[in-house]
Amino acid sequence: MTDPSFTTMRAIRIESGESLPNAADRAIEDLGLEFCDVTGFGRLEWVELKGDSNGPPTRMQGPFDLLDLKGRVRRVGSVIMSEYVCTISHVAHGEIHVFGGGLERAVVDFAELTFIPLVLAKGATVAEDAVAKEADTGRDAPPPAVPSPVKDDASKWSLALAESRRLEREGAAANWDDVEPVIPARGDIVNHRQFGRCDVVRVDGEHISLRKPDRRVVQLGLAILVFEPAGEQDGKDVYNVAVTRF
């Protein structure tokens, strides 16, 4: 039997002046969710995107269209662990510029969020529950069953989370090294979920410029896009495009 909590999506609207990801994290608690994916769209007044491992966040003044928000949230007691990535755009000098990256924080004009509950594997809660008990009561919690030279449970969780992210980054890098990315050429056709059927007018080392059906040109960063061949049309190669997760 399918767990009903896995199939019941919840949707909320975040009003002007509220902040992300704080408002999304609060909603997790209000909805009584423990583990879920978050998706959304809307409009932002300003945004801070996470820098690289050695750099500070980059703050940009909007307004921006929030084209896509993705996140995963785990709540254990009063402890909320979350990470979000977003794709945003704004218009400058008649062109639409698109950015993406890890979301540090933002203030919204409005946002529509959908929460998709997930079922956590039973064996994955031991260390997390120990962290939650220690955070809620202030007392030392029983150590997880996995032996570790680190005595503090919260430190163990932090190290495990950091190691998981490191392995994820290395795995993503290995995949990019092994597979040559597909990039359309000038004159090809790109089917974009937001902009529709677009003609490729320019490609350089970092960007691709697309002419939308309304004849306006939008410039996108190649680093956040994945193209998939979708056949031919009128003698031109056709590609579907998706925004990759950071």
Nearest-10 crossing angle of helices 153-178, 126-137: 140
| Phi, psi angle pair for 158, to nearest 5° | -60, -45
How many domains would you assign to the chain? 3
Q: Are residues 75 and 113 in the same domain?
A: yes
Domain of residue 66: give its range: 4-120
Q: Are residues 173 and 229 in the same domain?
A: no
Does residue 201 carry a pLDDT above 90?
yes
Q: Are residues 129 and 143 in the same domain?
A: yes
Residue 56 lies in a domain: yes
Q: Are residues 43 and 89 in the same domain?
A: yes
Q: Are residues 112 and 132 in the same domain?
A: no
Residue 106 lies in a domain: yes
Residue 183 lies in a domain: no
Q: Are residues 100 and 132 in the same domain?
A: no
| Phi, psi angle pair for 206, to nearest 5° | -125, -20
Higher per-residue pLDDT: 202 or 77: 202
- Counting DSSP H helices and E strands in the chain, the numbers are 4, 12
Mean per-residue pLDDT for 112-125?
72
Rounded-to-integer distance, Cα 25 and Cα 39, Å: 13
State the pTM of this model.
0.49
Q: What CATH number has the domain bearing residue 21?
A: 3.30.1330.80
Does residue 184 carry a pLDDT above 90?
yes
Residue 101 lies in a domain: yes
Higher per-residue pLDDT: 174 or 9: 9
* Last-in-domain residue among 82, 97, 120: 120
Residue 184 lies in a domain: no
Residues contacting residue 42 through CB under 8 Å, at least 6 positions apart: 14, 66, 69, 108, 109, 110, 111, 112
Lowest mean pLDDT among 3-7, 179-183, 189-193, 221-225: 3-7
